[in-house]
Chains A and B, each alone.
Chain A
């Protein structure tokens, strides 16, 4: 029978645009040490290490082997997973399966990126097909801009609506000491920031960040000894469809979110996620996604996203706060970002989110985004699943 599995501890670096004082292994070590302190464990207690980042941002091959100096994986099972932007969520999902399977009792899961070490857009472009797409593609930003244009065209949303999402997340980010950006922006600040690719402006976009996140997964029986409030994994779902960018036809809605959320809510028996879910940490690399993808997630009907945002439903204090940590618009060390989302939900469930704590969180969801408009979702609960 599957073993119930929980996140019992988390550790994050203080994410910054550049960490000149540490190399990649030392950045990883910082997060790992903090997670061990949070769990009151030592590296000897850890049975295995899984780690992920995106290779071409640091230009290091076989990172599972290279990272041993910082990850603590010496003479332990060590493995690397990578799936682009969704890497962090892929790692969290792997953390769940590896422990629930009985093969590990206490597993250390690490996501990291030092985006300052390369030109991020130049690096991300290498994800495209080298023959048909790469010679002409214009980076992740252009793809997102095309999606926003299609949504604007179909549902009449405006850059001002998008700015409201950005203002929300920047405000939330001010409560998060780990956030890379902590700017209390106004709608006008966002609208007047330089346009990168129509209709996206600078403050609609996420920054480039150096950061690492380490999370410890443990099985039932051990999790309860490590923490009084394990964040139990209730369900996971992901879709990484479309091998070719030319297939990503549905530009005004995120098809992978539609499919993954349908599976996740089905597994949880939830008909109305807006009512049942207490907090969401969404991998939302740009403001427009904050309106579009919550529709695809089933929080409201298509085209109603902007209204939900303007009504404050997703603000702190609203019915369903989204991105209390400030989210990806405040912090984006790409390989760690999906795992930071899971870690932040664990902090919410454990009541350890300090100034960004949403009161009485019973059910939280973290997501991952990346690749050819892929989506990963994980649901965490305070109550141990039956």
Chain B
């Protein structure tokens, strides 16, 4: 290699991609998110073919490729199927570490719902634990209108 290109101080360009996004929720997700915001209710939608209640709701069933039809209101309570206690923090996590994510089987739903656990002793979390949603004071039509799920009783 020619001397000119050898032991060159490597130039690094510290850049970013900063494109503003505005995702349209569509009718189905809008209904789910506005029920969280306005009535602190979790709703699912039922597929007429496989009879699964999908939470979060989808306009068409990913399993059967048919349109879902009936809305189903859930109590919001459920049980922890699995969870992880996050130790390494990143800028985009909603809470300071250590905190827990959980996969929750909501009563009356056939798909699982993933969210954050709060007001809980991390050492006490285990599979099967009954939990219920705690809604945020300030809600704006987002999955974070549920601040976290906490143990029942």
- Do A and B have CB atoms closer than 8 angstroms in the complex? yes
A-B contact pairs, 29 of them (CB 8 A): A18-B24, A21-B26, A21-B27, A22-B24, A22-B59, A23-B23, A23-B24, A23-B25, A24-B23, A26-B59, A26-B60, A56-B17, A58-B23, A59-B21, A69-B60, A70-B60, A72-B65, A74-B65, A114-B24, A117-B22, A117-B23, A118-B20, A118-B21, A122-B19, A123-B19, A126-B17, A130-B13, A134-B15, A135-B15
* Residues 6-59 of A contacting B (Cβ, < 8 Å): 18-26, 29, 42-43, 56, 58-59
Task: State whether B15 touches A130 (Cβ < 8 A).
Answer: yes
Take A23-B24, A29-B60, A43-B65 as given contacts and tell me if A119 and B19 are in contact as well, using a CB distance cutoff of 8 Å. Answer: yes
Q: B13 near A117 (CB under 8 angstroms)?
A: no
B contact residues around A118 at 8 Å (CB): 19-22
In Å, the complex CA distance between A182 and B47 comes to 38
Task: Give which listed residue, B20, B21, B29, B65, contacts A23 with CB less than 8 A.
Answer: B29
- Closest A residue to B65 by beta carbon equals A43
Answer whether residue A2 sits at the interface, using C-beta atoms and an 8 A cutoff.
no
Residue on B with the closest CB to A57? B19
CB of B62 closer than 8 Å to a CB of A:
yes
The reply to whether B62 and A22 contact each other, CB–CB distance below 8 Å, is: no
CA gap between A91 and B69 in the complex, in Å: 33
Tell me the A residues contacting B by CB distance below 8 Å.
18-26, 29, 42-43, 56, 58-59, 68-70, 72, 74, 114, 116-119, 122-123, 126, 130-131, 134-135
Q: Do A56 and B19 have beta carbons less than 8 Å apart?
A: yes
Q: Is B63 among interface residues, defined by CB-CB distance under 8 A?
A: yes
CA distance A59 to B20 in the complex (A): 9
Give the residues in chain A near B13, CB-CB below 8 Å. Answer: 130-131
Chain B residues 9 to 41 lying within 8 A of chain A, measured CB to CB, are 11, 13, 15, 17, 19-29
What A residues does B11 contact at CB under 8 A? 131
B58 at the interface (CB under 8 A from A): yes
The smallest C-beta distance from A112 to any residue of chain B, in angstroms, reads: 13
**List of B residues within 8 angstroms of A23 by Cβ:** 23-26, 29
List chain B residues, Cβ under 8 A from A58: 21, 23
Q: Say yes or no: A74 contacts B62, CB within 8 Å.
A: yes
Q: Say yes or no: A116-B24 contact (C-beta < 8 A), given A69-B58, A69-B60.
A: yes
Top 7 closest A-B pairs, CB basis? Answer: A23-B26, A43-B65, A69-B62, A22-B26, A59-B21, A131-B13, A72-B65
Chain B residues, Cβ within 8 Å of A25: 58
Give the residue name and chain of the B residue nearest to A129 (CB).
Answer: B13
CA distance A25 to B62 in the complex (A): 10
B66 (CB) vs chain A CBs: closest residue: A43
Q: How far is B65's CA from A21's CA once the two chains are assembled, in angstroms?
A: 19
- Would A126 and B59 be within 8 Å (CB), given that A22-B26, A23-B29, A131-B13 are in contact? no
Closest Cβ of chain A to B103, distance in Å, is: 18
* Contacting residues of chain B (35-91) with chain A, CB-CB under 8 angstroms: 58-60, 62-63, 65
Q: Closest CB of chain B to A200's CB: distance in Å?
A: 23
Q: How far is the CB of A352 from chain B (nearest CB, A)?
A: 24
Docked CA distance A22–B28 (Å):
8
Q: Which chain B positions have C-beta within 8 A of A135?
A: 15
Residues of B within 8 A of A26 (CB): 26, 28, 59-60
Closest to A123 in B: B19
Residues on B with C-beta less than 8 A from A114 are: 24
Partner of A117, one of B21, B28, B60, B63: B21
Q: Return chain B residues, CB-CB under 8 Å to A72.
A: 65
How near does chain B come to A20, taking the closest CB pair, in angstroms?
5
B26 / chain A contacts, CB cutoff of 8 Å: 20-23, 26
Tell me the bound Cα distance from A206 to B122 in angstroms. 55
Please determine whether B23 and A29 come into contact, CB atoms closer than 8 angstroms: no
Give a binary string over B85-100; 1 marks a CB under 8 Å from any A CB, 0 the rest. Answer: 0000000000000000
A116→B21 CA distance, assembly (Å)? 9
- Beyond contacts A114-B24, A117-B21: 7 other A-B pairs, Cβ-Cβ < 8 A, are A18-B24, A23-B26, A29-B60, A118-B20, A126-B19, A130-B13, A135-B15
- B residues near A130, Cβ cutoff 8 Å: 13, 15
Closest to A210 in B: B24
In chain A, what residue has the closest Cβ to B22?
A117
What are the residues of chain A within 8 A of B22 when measuring CB–CB? Answer: 116-118
Contacts of B20 in A (CB 8 A): 118-119, 122
Q: How long is the Cα–Cα vector from A69 to B25 in the complex, in angstroms?
A: 14
Smallest CB gap from A68: residue in B: B62
In the assembly, what is the distance between CA of A88 and CA of B15, in Å?
Answer: 30
Q: Once bound together, how far apart are the Cα atoms of A25 and B57, in whole Å?
A: 13
Nearest chain A CB to B17's CB is how many angstroms away? 6
| Cβ-defined contact, A117 with B15, below 8 A | no
